[in-house]
Chain A
Amino acid sequence: MALSKDVYAAFEDVVGTEYICDDPVIMPSYHATEFAAVILPKNTAEVQSIVRLCNKHKLPFRPVCTGWTGKFAKGFLYLDLRRMNRIIEINEKNMYAVVEPYVISAQLQAETMKRGLHLNLKGAGSNCSAMLRGHGHLDQTTSGDDRNHLAIEWVTPAGDIIRSGSLGSSDEWFCGDGPGPSLRSILTSAVPPGVTPGVFTKAALKLYHWPGPEKFPIEGVSPNYSLSEIPPNFLARYFSFPSVEKMFEAEIKIGESEIAFELMGFNVAMVAANITTSNEEEERTFKRLSQEVQGPGFFIILAGNSAADFEYKKRVLHHIVSAAGGKSLAPLEDPRTEGILLCQCIRISASIRETFRPGGAFSSIPVMGQRDLTIRWAIGAGKAKEPLIAKGLIVDDGGAFFGWGVEQGHLGKTEIFCKFDPQNPTAKEAVEAWHNDQSARAFRERYFALLSGQNEEVGRGLSNYHLWWNKIQKALDPNRVAPEAGALV
C-alpha cells in the first residue's frame, strides 16, 4: 500500500514535508484504513497538483473534510482538506458566501448572523463543512441540497479546474447556472467527496435573511447552556397530534402559510435527546415526554420580522394547530427548555446528541419525496424496528421517524434511524439487515432512497441513469483515480 519513495517525494514537493504522512500509526485516526498516505493541501493549486500526480501514478484519492466515521478502501491517497478553511467572501448585497471546504457551518453562520443573514445547516451538524450538500432543520426556509450551491470551483478527477455558473464567464459567484457552464446535473455532489468525483475547492453558498440577533445570549457552562432570554419575536414549540394524517394536515397548512422559520418533524425521542445532557437523563425524559404526547408531532420555530409579523404568525399557527387537534408539549414551553431547543436546532443542528451519544453509532435511511407518502413508508420502517427494540439491540425511540418539508412545500425528507452499539456484533448485524430490508422496500415502493451497492437495480428503474453516469465518470476520470462516492462530512 505504501507509496514508493519517488512518488512520496513528488507529493512532498507539492505540500511540503510537514503536510504529508504515510506512517501507519496515524491511519486508525483516519477511518481505520490503510491509506497510501494522508496529504493536507492548502489551496486549489495544490489540490490540482496532487490530483495530476494521482493521475500520473494511477493512485486513487479521496478528499474529506471534518470526516465522520465512514468506510474507505485501502491504498487511497487521503486528502484531508483541513487547511483549506478560509471564508473568501461574504457578499451581503447579493446574499452569498464563498468558502473553502473546511469552513464549518458554525463559523459561517456566526459570521452571517452578524450581518443579518444565515444559511442552511445540514443535519450532519454545524461542526461539519458549510459546503456540504444535504438537508437540515432549516430546510423550510433555506431549502436544501444543491439548491444552496451557487458557483463552484471544482478540480476534476483529471486535474482540470472547472468553474461553474457565473464563475465560468466572470469572477462572480452569484449563480450556479450561468452565464457559464451550469453542470448542475454533474455537480450534485455532497462536498467533498460525494458522488461527484474530484474535489470541490470553493463554493458560493446562498444566504438568507436572518430575523434574529447578531448572536444568541447564551449563558451557563457546558453542557448546561441556555439563553438568558428568548430573542424578541422568536417562539419554539412542539405540537403532537391525534394522528399522522392530522399532523401532516397541519404541516402542509403551515407550509402554505409560510409562517415557519423552521419546521422539524421531530419525534419525542429526538426532543429528549436534544434537551438532556446525558444518556440516563435522555432515557428518563423520553419516557416522561412519551406520556405527554397524543401522537406524532413536530417542532416548530417562528421568527417574526417585526412584532406585528410575529403576532400574525402566532395567530396563524394557533389556528392551524387547533384545527388539526394539535397539543403543545407543555414542558417545552418552559423558556429555559425553549432556549435550549432554539440553540440546538438553529446553531447546532442537533445531530450528535440524538445520533451518536446513546451507543456510538446509528444507521439511517433518508427518503426524499412527497411527505405524506414517505411518512407511510417510514411508519413501516418504524414497525420493523420494534423487534430490535424488544431484544435490546437498538435504542428504544418508540420506533419513531422524523422529517420535514423543504421550501415550505409538500416535498421533503423523511428519515428513520436505529441507534446502536457498533461493538455489539449481534446488534450490528440486525441493524444492517433492517437497513437493507427497509431500503429495498423503499425502492420497491418507488420511493427515492439510497441503495448502496445496488446502483444497477436502481438505475434500471430510473431510465438507466447508471449507464449514463458511468459514461460521464469515464470521461471525467479516465484513470479511475476518483472512483468512490458517498457523503462524508
Chain B
Amino acid sequence: MGLEQYKGDMEMCCRCSTCKFIPMQRVTGHAYANVCPSISRYNFHSYSAGGRMNIGAAMLKQGMNYTDRLLDIVYNCQMCGACGVSCNYAMDMEVMEPIQEFRIKCVEDGKTHPALDKVIAGLRKHDSMVPPSGKRGDWASGLNLKDATKEKVDVLFHVGCLTSYDKNLQKLAKATAKILQKAGVNFGIAGDAESCCGGRAYQMGYKEDFLRQANKNMALIQQAGVKTVVTASADGYHAFKVLYDKFNLKGSLEVLHISEYIAKLIQDGKLKPRNKVGLSVTYHDPCGLGRLGEPWIHWNGKKIPGDRFVFDPPKVYRRGTQGVYQPPRDVLHSLPGVKLTEMTRIKEYAWCCGAGGGVSDSNPAFAQWTARERIEEAESTGAEAIVTACPWCEKSFSEAIRATGSNLKVYDLVELVEQAIS
C-alpha cells in the first residue's frame, strides 16, 4: 500500500499551518513558537508538514514528479514528528506516516541522497550507521561485562552504533555499564556481535535495510533468550520499541530506555544517587524517546463512508501523548544538587536536536542550524548545561557549542547519574 494508504489523511490537510508551531496553548511569546526545523529554515510552505501532505496528495493523483527541489524538500526533514503532534492536537489524521512513506517511495524509485546512500553502504558492509573504528565492542574492554550471546542475562544492553564507535561518546556506554553494575543488574552486551538497530535507516527511507537489521537483532535476542532490552540511544529505543512492533517483529520483548530503567532502579531502591552533582541544567527531550517513542498502535480498518473522516474500527492516533517524558526528569530530580529549569519547547513539542532523519549526514549545515537554535533556547534558561538522553543529540549539541563558542555544557543523563553514584 505504501503512500496510497494515506491518501485520505493527506487530503485532510486544511493547510492551517499549526504544524509549523508548537501547540497554541503552549506558545508563551514571540520566541520559540516554531516547532518544525524544516519550515523554519527553508520557509517555503512546501517544507512544512502541510506542504508535504499537499504535495503527496497531488503526486498520488498526478504521478511522481521528481525534481531537485522535491528531493531537497524530502531530505531536509529530521522526521522528528513535532508537526504531527501540533496537527493532531486538533485534527484526526496521520502526518508522520505519509511523510515517512513518501521518503520510502523516493528510495524505492532510486531517488536517493548520495550522502545517505554512502551511510547505507556502510551499514550493509559494517552493520553500523557510523564508520567503524576498531571493533564494536572495544569500548567494553577491561570492564568485565557479560557477553549476552554466550551467557544467560536478564537484560541486554544495546549500545548503538554512535556510542560504540565514537571515541568521544564511548563514555556513555561505560557510564551505563557502571550504573547497571552498581544496581546489581544481571545484564550483558552483544559486543562485536551487536548490530545496528536500523531505526535511522528507516527514517532515511531505506525500509528494506531497516527490516534486515531488525530481523538480525531479533534473531540474536531470541537466541540469547533475553526478555528485556535496554537502549542507551533514543533512536535505538524508537527502533526496538516502536518500529519493530510496527512490523510485528518485537513480540513480547520488553524495551526500556536507560532513563526509564534508571528511574525504576532508583524507585526500587537499587540505585541510590548520593553524591552532590551541583549543576543547573535544562533537559532536552530526544524525539525518539519523547513523541516518537510512543508505543505503536496496531490498527486495521476502513473509512466509514460519509461525512466524517472516521473508521471502523475507530482509529486511535499516536499523538505523542504517551512518549517517555517523565522518567528522565524524575532521574534528574533525584540527583543531589541538580536544579532543572525547563526550556519553552519541551516534551511532546520539543525542538529537535537536528540530527534526525539522516539530516546530519545529508545536510550537516542544516543539522547544525537546528542544534544552534536549541542551544540558544537552552541558554535562555540560565542553565549551565543541557542534558539529553541520546548520543546523537549530544554529538549535535557539542558541535553547535564548539561552533558558537557557547559556554553551555552538554551531558547525557547517564553521565550525571554516574557522578551521583560513584
Residues on A lying within 8 angstroms of B by beta carbon are: 19, 21, 23-26, 28-32, 38, 40, 66-69, 80, 82-83, 87, 103-104, 106-111, 114, 125-128, 215-216, 218, 221-225, 277-280, 283, 343, 347-348, 351-353, 355-361, 392-396, 419-424, 427
**B44–A67 CB distance below 8 A:** no
B69 at the interface (CB under 8 A from A): yes
Which segment, of B23-31, B98-106, B256-264, faces chain A?
B23-31
Asked if A423 meets B11 with Cβ closer than 8 Å, knowing A67-B45, A392-B307, the reply is yes
Counting contact residues on chain B (CB < 8 A from A), the size range is 35 or more
A138 to B360, CA, bound (A): 45
**B307–A427 CB distance below 8 A:** yes
Partner of A80, one of B16, B43, B50: B43
A195 to B90, CA, bound (A): 30
**B307–A30 CB distance below 8 A:** no
Asked if A348 meets B44 with Cβ closer than 8 Å, knowing A224-B321, A423-B11, the reply is no
A393 to B73, CA, bound (A): 36
B52 at the interface (CB under 8 A from A): yes
**A25–B16 CB distance below 8 A:** no
Residue among A29, A348, A421 having the largest count of chain B Cβ atoms under 10 Å: A29
B306 at the interface (CB under 8 A from A): yes
A322 to B232, CA, bound (A): 62
Partner of A32, one of B28, B58, B309, B314: B58
Partner of B16, one of A66, A221, A423: A66
B70 at the interface (CB under 8 A from A): yes
A38 to B46, CA, bound (A): 11
A489: min CB distance to chain B, Å = 9
B273 at the interface (CB under 8 A from A): no
Q: Give the chain A neighbours of B52 by CB distance below 8 A.
A: 29
B422 at the interface (CB under 8 A from A): no
B206 at the interface (CB under 8 A from A): no
**B309–A106 CB distance below 8 A:** no
Q: Give the chain B neighbours of A109 by CB distance below 8 A.
A: 27
Instruction: Kindly report which residue of chain A lies nearest to residue B91, judged by CB atoms.
Output: A357
Q: Give the chain B neighbours of A358 by CB distance below 8 A.
A: 307-309
A401 to B336, CA, bound (A): 58
Residue among B24, B48, B308 having the largest count of chain A Cβ atoms under 10 Å: B24
Q: Told that A110-B27, A360-B309, A394-B307 touch, could you supply 7 new A-B pairs with CB distance under 8 A? A: A25-B73, A80-B45, A83-B43, A222-B23, A279-B92, A357-B309, A421-B309
A32 to B317, CA, bound (A): 27
A427 to B306, CA, bound (A): 9
B235 at the interface (CB under 8 A from A): no
B348 at the interface (CB under 8 A from A): yes
A262 to B48, CA, bound (A): 33
Asked if A127 meets B43 with Cβ closer than 8 Å, knowing A106-B27, A221-B325, the reply is no
B124 at the interface (CB under 8 A from A): no
Partner of B11, one of A108, A215, A360, A393: A360
**A103–B25 CB distance below 8 A:** no
**B15–A69 CB distance below 8 A:** yes
A165: min CB distance to chain B, Å = 24
Partner of A218, one of B25, B67, B88: B25
Asked if A82 meets B43 with Cβ closer than 8 Å, knowing A225-B23, A358-B307, the reply is yes
Asked if A25 meets B69 with Cβ closer than 8 Å, knowing A222-B348, A347-B25, A348-B25, the reply is yes
Partner of B89, one of A32, A108, A222, A283: A222
**B29–A110 CB distance below 8 A:** yes
Asked if A360 meets B14 with Cβ closer than 8 Å, knowing A25-B70, A224-B321, the reply is yes
B18 at the interface (CB under 8 A from A): yes
B177-217 residues at the A interface, CB under 8 angstroms: none
Instruction: Kindly report which residue of chain A lies nearest to residue B59, judged by CB atoms.
Output: A28
**B321–A222 CB distance below 8 A:** yes
Instruction: Kindly report which residue of chain B lies nearest to residue A124, judged by CB atoms.
Output: B16
Asked if A104 meets B308 with Cβ closer than 8 Å, knowing A28-B55, A80-B43, A223-B90, the reply is no
A328 to B244, CA, bound (A): 50
A360 to B321, CA, bound (A): 23
**B325–A127 CB distance below 8 A:** no
Asked if A222 meets B14 with Cβ closer than 8 Å, knowing A25-B70, A29-B52, A106-B21, the reply is no
Interface string of B293-325 (1 = CB under 8 A from A): 000000000000011111000100101110101
A-B contact pairs, 10 of them (CB 8 A): A23-B70, A24-B67, A68-B14, A108-B30, A111-B30, A222-B320, A351-B90, A353-B90, A359-B307, A393-B307
Q: Give the chain B neighbours of A23 by CB distance below 8 A.
A: 67, 69-70
Q: Which 8 A-B pairs have the closest CB atoms?
A: A29-B51, A28-B58, A66-B17, A352-B90, A356-B14, A23-B69, A26-B46, A106-B27
**B44–A357 CB distance below 8 A:** no
**B24–A29 CB distance below 8 A:** no
Instruction: Kindly report which residue of chain A lies nearest to residue B294, judged by CB atoms.
Output: A221
**A127–B55 CB distance below 8 A:** no
Partner of B92, one of A107, A357, A422: A357
Asked if A104 meets B33 with Cβ closer than 8 Å, knowing A29-B45, A224-B321, A358-B307, the reply is yes
**B45–A280 CB distance below 8 A:** no
Residue among B44, B55, B88, B91 having the largest count of chain A Cβ atoms under 10 Å: B44
Residue among B27, B65, B85 having the largest count of chain A Cβ atoms under 10 Å: B27
B2 at the interface (CB under 8 A from A): no
Partner of B308, one of A26, A218, A225, A395: A395
B8 at the interface (CB under 8 A from A): yes
Residue among B12, B16, B48, B69 having the largest count of chain A Cβ atoms under 10 Å: B16
Q: Give the chain A neighbours of B320 by CB distance below 8 A.
A: 221-222
B57 at the interface (CB under 8 A from A): yes
B93: min CB distance to chain A, Å = 8
B318: min CB distance to chain A, Å = 12
Residue among B67, B90, B321, B325 having the largest count of chain A Cβ atoms under 10 Å: B90
**B55–A223 CB distance below 8 A:** no
B74-114 residues at the A interface, CB under 8 angstroms: 85-86, 88-92
Q: Give the chain A neighbours of B21 by CB distance below 8 A.
A: 104, 106, 127
A216 to B23, CA, bound (A): 13
**B33–A80 CB distance below 8 A:** no
**A221–B308 CB distance below 8 A:** no
Partner of A225, one of B25, B65, B73, B307: B25
B164: min CB distance to chain A, Å = 33
B347 at the interface (CB under 8 A from A): yes
Instruction: Kindly report which residue of chain B lies nearest to residue A347, judged by CB atoms.
Output: B25
Partner of A29, one of B16, B50, B321, B325: B50
A103 to B320, CA, bound (A): 26
A26 to B39, CA, bound (A): 13
Partner of A360, one of B12, B24, B50, B85: B12
Q: Give the chain B neighbours of A127 by CB distance below 8 A.
A: 16-18, 21, 24
B275 at the interface (CB under 8 A from A): no
**A21–B27 CB distance below 8 A:** no
Q: Give the chain B neighbours of A87 by CB distance below 8 A.
A: 30
Q: Give the chain A neighbours of B309 by CB distance below 8 A.
A: 279, 357-360, 421
B54 at the interface (CB under 8 A from A): yes
B349 at the interface (CB under 8 A from A): yes
**A67–B30 CB distance below 8 A:** no
Instruction: Kindly report which residue of chain B lies nearest to residue A64, judged by CB atoms.
Output: B45
**B24–A347 CB distance below 8 A:** yes
A392 to B52, CA, bound (A): 30
B59: min CB distance to chain A, Å = 8
Q: Give the chain A neighbours of B90 by CB distance below 8 A.
A: 223, 351-353, 356-357
**A40–B43 CB distance below 8 A:** yes
**A106–B307 CB distance below 8 A:** no
Asked if A107 meets B29 with Cβ closer than 8 Å, knowing A29-B55, A222-B321, the reply is yes
Residue among A24, A106, A126, A128 having the largest count of chain B Cβ atoms under 10 Å: A106
Instruction: Kindly report which residue of chain B lies nearest to residue A423, judged by CB atoms.
Output: B11
B290: min CB distance to chain A, Å = 10
**B319–A26 CB distance below 8 A:** no
A284 to B187, CA, bound (A): 49
Q: Give the chain B neighbours of A348 by CB distance below 8 A.
A: 24-25
**B25–A111 CB distance below 8 A:** no
**A421–B308 CB distance below 8 A:** yes
